[in-house]
A and B are shown apart, each in its own frame.
Chain A
Amino acid sequence: MEHSPELIKELEEKVLVVRKNILRIFEGSHQGHCGGTMSLTEIVTALYFHHLKLDPGNCDWPDRDRVVLSKAHAAESIYAVLPEIGYVTRETLDKYYAYQSQFQGHADRWCTPGIDYSGGSLGQGLSFSAGMALAEKIKSDMNPPDLHILPVNMPRLIRKDNPAYRVFCIVGDGELHEGQNWEAAMLAGKYQLDNLILIVDYNKFCIDGPVEKIMPLAPLDEKFRAFGWWVKEIDGHNFNEILDVLDLANNLYGDGKPKCIIAHTVKGHGIPIWEKSHAHVGRADCLDLALKEGKDLYGQI
């Protein structure tokens, strides 16, 4: 699949805005989950500025695509997008962590327009997404008036027409250590949730060190395939690859398989000191330096 150079260029400009917004968030809060936020910037940009079905004027549109940020500590990546699509004011960027702010410490459905899931306790977002995806299936299955005479034991799950909405779930790699993900993966396979797209932000680092040392995940692709999923690995910072895989997942709708996109990313991407230190949380000591690096690279925030 080819994407026009104009589109790629437009997204590359957008990602700069998103990255600057993230830095502005950190500047206001003096702390934040920088590593896992920066590794998501291109993915979130591609989703919100191109791929997702959403109504910028109406964050509660029932047919909008859902985004469940299971790694809710990286909420800053989505917070940085929300003013750009008109869900919150630009001033909100300065109120991360603040009392009664729309930008809570972890993604919060109640407080923030455009956030579909309140996370923070890791490993639950995929189950929530599976519930939402299942709801879409069941609702469309309930609509036929002849439901009561259908000789079925399970919902008619595989359809060729488009779903009312798709559910995009974003998990971190370390988060996959939580066993509940695999309970949800089993369920998604069983119910053939081809309207569910899981994106693994595979940035290779937990707080305590490299993921493969803390608790090895490899071979991650084979694990998901064994659970009945369609799996594709991409470079999570390459817009061509991101757009391709999202389109591919869309086009495969109707195959009865939940989709898993393993996005290889770099923790702290875009800020050298964070990339070097695999920083999970940007604390005050290195934050000033990181902000300076950011300003040098991307201009005034």
Chain B
Amino acid sequence: MVKFNKYVEIGPGAPIMAGAEAGMLKVVNKYPNVIAVLEDTGALAIDWFKKNAPNRIVECGIAEANAAVVAAGLAAEGFRPFILGFTFATVGRAYNQIRQSILVDHFNVKMVGREMWGEMGISHNVVEGIGSLRVLPNLVVINAADVVESEKAFVAMADYIGPVFFRMESQLPYKIFTADYPFEIGKAYAIKDGNDATIIATGYMVSEAIKAIDILEKDKLDVGIINMGTLKPLDEDAIIDAAKKTGAIVTAEAGSIIGGLGEGVGAILAENVSASLVRVGIEDEFSQSARITPAKDELMILHGLTAENIALSVKECISKRDKLKLHRK
């Protein structure tokens, strides 16, 4: 029986959007200046808006560059706009607009990017999202691991004053957290402690990391999991502490290993502590279509975004650590 930390209670997964919807409902009631800026992709809490505040929806149509800057203009006048769209378009089609018109003046714009894995194909399967956003100054990047964290993070994002990007992966395998889980921007959370190695995972891959524990326990390996709910700023203390404790760090993210969580963790390790690192993520390539189940697993196997690959990587990481004598207890 795997022993998890406080606030963790694994259950069947729910669409992360359900959490975001619940979060949005809290937020629209809490802040009358929340306004939905849409790109023809549907709104979170659309029924609430239609019934209660139709004038708090700005529908920009399929024009993401315009939507980003209209949101900036609204924020300049005191609104708290939430742009809701798909990452490839909301970010990819408006990258310079986000930089110039939102981030430069630190406008209070929240961007929610849905990311589809599988059915939508190469256009919608965003591999570059995390890397392209982490490099931008003034931006907070959040990536929730389950429906509960999604709801909490949504509220935290609205409370925070400044630009935030919320990465909304479509379907997450597990519900991980209890209702009283405290989410804080910039703080990682240790889901499980372990002495042999630490998996630092984000979003979808947290579920796979939890599955990987079952495999690793059969090999008598005591491995910890840290959920990195905020990809920028990264929780440096949590990373350094984990590396000091186990000396073997495996990062796991459903995105390119270039510029993503793995690189961020790697840089912090290299500057602070001697440890072995293995990055699980998508190699330098694009993706393709796959049906949701069971063929979606084929896509995840193709990219190595699986519990099995995490488990293998943990073992590789431990043997590298021991071979190179990277860690002293």
Report Cα–Cα, A138/B53, bound state, in Å: 11
Contact of B66 among A133, A138, A187 (CB under 8 A): A187
Lowest 8 CB-CB distances: which A-B pairs, in order? A131-B73, A135-B77, A127-B69, A183-B66, A183-B63, A155-B55, A131-B70, A121-B100
In the complex, the answer to whether B97 meets A135 with C-beta atoms within 8 Å is no
- Contact of B55 with A142 in the complex, beta carbons under 8 Å: yes
Alpha-carbon distance between A133 and B76 when the two chains are bound, in angstroms: 11
Q: Which of A148-182 contact B (CB under 8 A)?
A: 148, 152-155, 179-180
By beta carbon, the residue of chain A nearest B109 is A131
User: Is A186 in contact with chain B by the CB < 8 A criterion?
Assistant: yes
Indicate if B293 sits at the interface (CB-CB under 8 A).
no
Binding site for A on B (CB under 8 A): 32, 35, 52-56, 58, 60-61, 63, 65-66, 68-79, 96-97, 99-101, 104-105
Give the complex CA separation of A130 and B100 in angstroms. 16
Whether A138 and B56, one on each chain, are in contact in the complex, defined by CB atoms closer than 8 angstroms, is yes
Complex Cα gap A142–B100 (Å)? 29
Given A135-B79, A138-B35, A183-B66, A148–B73 Cβ distance below 8 Å?
Answer: no
Quick check: A130 and B70 within 8 Å, CB to CB?
yes
A-B contact pairs, 20 of them (CB 8 A): A110-B104, A110-B105, A116-B76, A117-B76, A118-B105, A121-B96, A127-B69, A127-B73, A127-B97, A128-B69, A128-B76, A132-B76, A134-B74, A135-B76, A135-B77, A153-B54, A180-B65, A186-B61, A187-B60, A191-B58
Residues in A whose Cβ lies below 8 Å from that of B55: 138, 141-142, 147, 152, 154-155
| Cα–Cα, bound, A133→B100 (Å) | 19
Chain B residues whose CB sits within 8 angstroms of the CB of A223 once the complex forms: none
Q: Is the CB of A180 within 8 A of B77?
A: no
Q: Which residues of A contact B97 (CB under 8 A)?
A: 121, 124, 127, 180
Knowing A134-B70, A142-B32, say if A127 contacts B76 (CB, 8 Å).
Answer: no
Would you call A119 an interface residue if the criterion is a C-beta within 8 Å of the partner chain's C-beta atoms?
yes
Residues of chain A within 8 A of B96, CB atoms compared = 121
Taking CB atoms, residues of chain A closer than 8 Å to B68 are 127
- Which residues of A are found within 8 Å of B52, using beta-carbon distances? 148
Contacts of A282 in B (CB 8 A): none
Cβ B63 vs Cβ A135 within 8 A: no
Decide yes or no whether A184 CB sits under 8 A from chain B.
yes
> Is A265 an interface residue, CB under 8 A from the partner?
no
Decide if B105 touches A120 in the complex (CB within 8 Å).
no
Is the C-beta of A232 less than 8 angstroms from some C-beta in chain B? no
- Do A139 and B77 have beta carbons less than 8 Å apart? yes
In whole angstroms, how far apart are the Cα atoms of A282 and B65 in the complex? 32
Q: Enumerate chain B residues within 8 angstroms of A119, measured Cβ to Cβ.
A: 100
Residue of A nearest to B81 (CB): A131
The answer for the CA separation of A120 and B96 in the assembled complex, in Å, is 11
Check A124 against B105 for contact (C-beta < 8 Å): no
Q: Are A109 and B101 in contact (CB under 8 A)?
A: no
Residue pair A147, B53 in contact (C-beta under 8 Å): yes
Contact present for A135 and B69 (CB under 8 Å): no
Q: How far is the CA of A118 from the CA of B72 in the complex (A)?
A: 11
Q: Chain A's nearest CB lies how many Å from the CB of B61?
A: 7
Q: Map CB proximity to B onto A56-86 as digits: 1 under 8 Å, 0 otherwise.
A: 0000000000000000000000000000000
In the docked arrangement, what's the CA distance between A109 and B65, Å? 20
Return chain A residues, CB-CB under 8 Å to B76.
109, 116-117, 128, 131-132, 135
Closest CB in chain B relative to A182 CB, distance in Å: 9
| Distance between Cα atoms of A147 and B51 in the complex (Å) | 11
Docked-complex contact B69 and A124, CB < 8 angstroms: yes
Q: Which of A118, A134, A179 contacts B73 (CB 8 A)?
A: A134
User: Does chain B have a CB within 8 A of A129?
Assistant: yes
How far does the alpha carbon of A118 sit from the alpha carbon of B96 in the complex, in Å?
Answer: 13
Contacts of A142 in B (CB 8 A): 32, 55
Q: Are A152 and B54 neighbours in the complex by a CB distance under 8 Å?
A: yes
A136 within 8 A of B: yes
CA gap between A184 and B58 in the complex, in Å: 13
